[in-house]
Amino acid sequence: MKIVGVNAGRCTLCGACARECGADLFSTVSNSWEATTRMIRRDPHGWCTGCGHCLAVCPRDAILWEDAETPPAPAGIERPESFCGYDVLLPFLQSKRSVRRYRPTLPGREQIEAVLEAMRWAPSGHNLQASRYLAITERSVLQAITDHTIAGFRKFRTVIRLRKLLKSFLPRNLYKVLDSPGLLEGVNAMISQREQGQDPILFDAPAVIVVYYPNMGALSLLDPTIAFTYGMLAAHSLGLGSCWIGFAIQSLYKDRGMRRLLGVPEDMIVAGVMTLGFPLPVYHRIPPRNPLLVRWLDGGNVGLRG
């Protein structure tokens, strides 16, 4: 979206756009000989990110824009808490599970598109909106992701077995992980499950969404993570289950062969993998969670509060 100006006929000079604009692009100008004042927008340095805050905050719809479809205008947008109050939202969030068993039925395309539509509205740093998405329902591609991840575990198993020989060459924290009880057994279990025809990576989910992002180091994971959170909650509202697949992300992160298979450009990395489908289990209750450890800085009373 490109913001192009202010409709003087609608503008009441309330100044909401000027107060909200993070780039300080709105100001008033006066015409002394006509005794008029109007709001204008100047952006000589191209600082506008198209965040749309000016458009959203204007009570008279006076902000002019182009190069985008008309945004939605749900009734009651001024009070979003009227859509879903906290007493409704919290149980919804608490009931969200990471689903690892799915029915074989493929969700309808319109359901998958609804999940993607929710991701579209996730915020992004500097409003970059650089995430790109891949919706996969082709079984051969899903199996390739699982097989490639398991192949990585086979290589990792070799490192685990050689850990004592390599101890002097490994960072202390990495050695502690490699030497932890049960790690080798867990890796062997996943490899064995795959050899028996099971899918310990994508859990035989009928659909998977992959997000890829420009390679910007650690920053590459932030926007996709937020977008996937939006998508997972949208899926939950549609009766679909989802799960963030960390093993697959590690396997696909920068692998050139898999990026070619998935059509991920060379200057981008796989930043998220999410399974999607109808959950097989029915969850009857909410498991407990530990209280947060929060430090409050409130006028000198500093401490941990559970």
Distance between CA 239 and CA 14 in Å, rounded?
44
pLDDT band of residue 34 (cuts 50, 70, 90) is low
Residue 67 has which token pair? 């190069």
Element (H, E) at 3: strand 2-6
CATH code that applies to domain 94-132+201-277: 3.40.109.10
Whether residue 201 is predicted with pLDDT greater than 60 in this model: the reply is yes
Name, in order, each residue with C-beta under 8 angstroms of 42's C-beta and a sequence gap of 6 or more.
Answer: 25, 27
Could you report the per-residue pLDDT of 213-266, keeping only the tens digit for each?
Answer: 998 888 888 999 999 999 999 999 999 999 999 999 999 987 889 999 999 999
Residue 70 has which token pair? 């008309």
Q: Which residue has the higher pLDDT, 181 or 191?
A: 191
Distance between CA 266 and CA 255 in Å, rounded?
10
pLDDT band of residue 304 (cuts 50, 70, 90) is low
Q: Residue 118's pLDDT is what? A: 97
Distance between CA 255 and CA 55 in Å, rounded?
41
Distance between CA 195 and CA 67 in Å, rounded?
52
Whether residue 128 is predicted with pLDDT greater than 60 in this model: the reply is yes
Whole-number average pLDDT of the chain:
92
Alpha-carbon 274 to chain mean position = 10
Percent of the chain with pLDDT over 90: 77
DSSP symbol at 281: S
Percent of the chain with pLDDT over 70: 97
pLDDT band of residue 299 (cuts 50, 70, 90) is confident
Whether residue 148 is predicted with pLDDT greater than 60 in this model: the reply is yes
Alpha-carbon 99 to chain mean position = 17
Distance between CA 207 and CA 277 in Å, rounded?
6
Whether residue 290 is predicted with pLDDT greater than 70 in this model: the reply is yes
Architecture of domain 2-66: 2-Layer Sandwich (3.30)
Region 272-281: mean pLDDT is 97
CA R_g for the chain: 25
Q: Residue 101's pLDDT is what? A: 96
Domain extents for the chain? 2-66, 94-132+201-277, 141-195
pLDDT band of residue 302 (cuts 50, 70, 90) is low
